[in-house]
Amino acid sequence: MAKTIGRIEAGGGTGVAITCDHTDDSQTAALFAQVAADEGRLDLLVNNAWAGPPDGYAGFAQPFWERPVSDWDALIGIGLRAHYVASVEAAKIMVPQGSGLIANISSFGSRGYLHSVLYGMSKTGLDKMAADMAVDFGETGVTAVSLWLGLIQTDMLLKYGIEEFEGFRIAESEQPEFVGHVIETLTRDPDLASYNGNTIVTAEYGAANGIRNSDGMQPISHRQAFGGGPLFPPAGAGAASAR
């Protein structure tokens, strides 16, 4: 946490580290209560709590019937349910204030097979969740979106010194800061309401809004590699569905 706080402060921001076990609904509720008490408002929730199989990425090497059913508890219980619980608590603050953005971190695993059956289920669930939350938000001024990230230049990935991963070039992938800039730009987008309920490809939104990696590279969209456009809302269901 200290490293993250340091990077936030180096960028001119203020970071506050709070420990929260997202398998415990009471801790999640307490976290949002603290934010409301300390700040008086909430403008952005980025749902990105996630846990893979207990044995790490090795758990993605087997077909689902050879895996323990308990994988569900991590990939769905945290990767999907915890996002719903956090969104409930965020909405209780955002709706009364008449504004706010809830952004679910999803992936192209919602469109094509990636990692495992449960991984794809959790990501597709996040897309559908944003689409349906948008209906409930209606004219409240609160927006819910799901973001399809491409390959991310995590510290773990970069330490291997490889040039390609799963067929995608590392140099053309997204830095974590790139995704942060995309989300921050979304919060200021005058057309934010038009994205309500939609899935957004971060690489494409970045390209359309002049957002690049720190080295000047424009991340490449994985849209075609996964066979097509966003899943939610269904084609023809909304003006922004082709974004």
pLDDT tens figures, 62-85 = 999 999 999 999 999 999 999 999
Catalytic sites, residue numbers: 119
16: CB partners within 8 A, 6+ apart: 5
Please, which pLDDT band fits residue 234 given cuts at 50, 70 and 90? low
Residue 5: predicted pLDDT: 86
Average pLDDT rounded to a whole number, residues 214-241: 74
158-203 per-position pLDDT tens digit = 888 888 877 788 889 999 999 999 999 999 999 999 999 999 999 9
Is the pLDDT at 241 greater than 50? The verdict is no
CA distances from 134 to 7, 102, 113, 232 (A): 33, 10, 26, 11
CA 213 to chain centre: 18
CATH topology of domain 41-226: Rossmann fold (3.40.50)
Name the helix (H) or strand (E) containing 11.
Answer: none
Q: What is the pLDDT of residues 3-24, one digit of tens each?
A: 888 888 888 888 888 999 999 9
Cβ pair 114, 75 in contact under 8 A: no
Spell out a b/e string for 158-178, using b for 16 or more CB atoms within 10 Å of the CB, else e.
eeeeeeeeeeeeeebbbbeeb
Domain ranges of the chain: 41-226
For residues 35 and 30, what is the distance between their CA atoms, to the nearest angstrom? Answer: 9
- Please report the pLDDT score of residue 52 as a whole number: 80
Residue in 42, 4, 130 with CA at minimum distance from that of residue 31: 42
The model's confidence at residue 237, banded by pLDDT at 50, 70 and 90, is: low
Whole-number average pLDDT of the chain? 89
What is residue 238's predicted lDDT score, i.e. its pLDDT? 46
Instruction: Return the pLDDT at 235.
Output: 60
pLDDT by residue (tens digit) across 53-68? 887 776 788 999 999 9
Residue ranges of the alpha helices (H) in 76-218? 82-97, 117-137, 155-158, 176-188, 202-208
150 and 202 Cβ atoms separated by less than 8 Å: yes
The Cα–Cα gap between 18 and 50 comes to 17
Tell if the pTM clears 0.85, that is, is over it: yes
Cis peptide before 233 (omega within 30 of 0): yes
